[in-house]
Amino acid sequence: MKKDYEFKEGEVLLFNKPLHWTSFQLVNKVRWLVKRQLQVKKIKVGHAGTLDPLATGLMILCTGKKTKEIDQYQAAEKEYIGTLKLGATTPSYDGETAENYFFATQHITEEDIKKTMLIFHGEIQQMPPIFSALKVGGKKMYESARKGQEVAIKPRSIHIKELEILSINMPYITFKVACSKGTYIRSLAFDIGKALNSGAWLCKLQRTKIGEYSIDNAIDITNFEEMMISS
């Protein structure tokens, strides 16, 4: 593991975000560790793309002068491995909220699933989930959603480069998707359920790639902390 970091000049750090951590928590922890090691009061640390608390996987963090490059990483294609559950939906489209509507799944065959996945390729319109950090009228949508307030949402154009079924174990489908910036995998899961005349929600998600960067080269925050404290 690299030990000769140049945090002020700038580093691009790959982390495997833990389950239940927010993206902000990870940035905060790294910033604190770096400030502690350098014995400074301020250091720039930013991330190139949010992950939901219930998602794990690759996050790119930039320090110092490298924070100027964040936009190029945010714009890069992303790859995820996710698992959806058919037969129910949740208001948040993931496990943050409880299942609220239930649907039949007996009519769904493996052939139906394979044909439906083909619909979600190329340029498509997607409705972001109301439980998201997108801002409407200067307010994050999840803040309004948690208060039960209605939010006017507009569909957005996204691009799905690849959508591959990895396994089908009803009512669960595990898939790999390569997609453009701004794609919500929660919304993709919801839309797949709807296209199958049922419902679905995303019960597991891992980001595996951002552009040329892979989760295979990422480190855990615990290992980074141990290295920073011992150096």
* pLDDT band of 129, cuts 50, 70, 90: confident
- pLDDT of 152 > 70? The answer is no
Q: Rounded to an integer, what distance in angstroms lies between the CA atom of residue 219 and that of residue 59?
A: 10
| Mean predicted confidence (pLDDT) in 69-91 | 96
Task: Report the percentage of the chain scoring pLDDT > 90.
Answer: 78
Read off the tokens for 43. 């250091």
pLDDT at residue 98 is higher than 80: yes
User: In this predicted model, what pLDDT tens digit does every residue of 26-38 receive, in sequence order?
Assistant: 999 999 999 998 9
User: Which pLDDT value is given to residue 150?
Assistant: 62
Mean pLDDT of all residues in the chain? 91
Summarize pLDDT for 170-222 with one digit per residue, the tens: 999 999 999 999 999 999 999 999 999 999 999 999 999 999 999 999 999 99
Go through the domains of the chain in sequence order and give each one's CATH number. Answer: 12-75+212-230 (3.30.2350.10), 78-210 (3.30.2350.10)
Cα–Cα distance for residue pair 155/171, rounded to 1 Å: 28
Residues 3-30 as b/e (b if ≥16 CB within 10 A, e otherwise) read eebebeebbebbbbbeeebebeebbebb
Query: Is 52 a known active-site residue?
Result: yes
| Pairing outcome for strands 156-169 and 122-126 | antiparallel
Of the pLDDT bands very low, low, confident and very high (cuts 50, 70, 90), residue 140 is low
The answer, yes or no, to whether residue 56 has pLDDT greater than 90, is yes
| Per-residue pLDDT, 155 | 85
Predicted confidence (pLDDT) at residue 128 exceeds the cutoff of 90: no
Q: pLDDT confidence of 154, banded at 50, 70, 90?
A: confident
Tell me the pLDDT band of 131, cut-offs 50, 70 and 90: low
Tokens representing residue 177 in the block: 């998707």
Share of the chain above pLDDT 70, in %: 88
According to DSSP, the β-strands at 56-63 and 200-210 are parallel
Q: What tens digit of pLDDT does each residue of 5-48 get?
A: 899 999 999 999 999 999 999 999 999 999 998 999 999 999 99
Please report the pLDDT score of residue 138 as a whole number: 57
Out of 52, 94, 191, 220, which one is annotated catalytic?
52
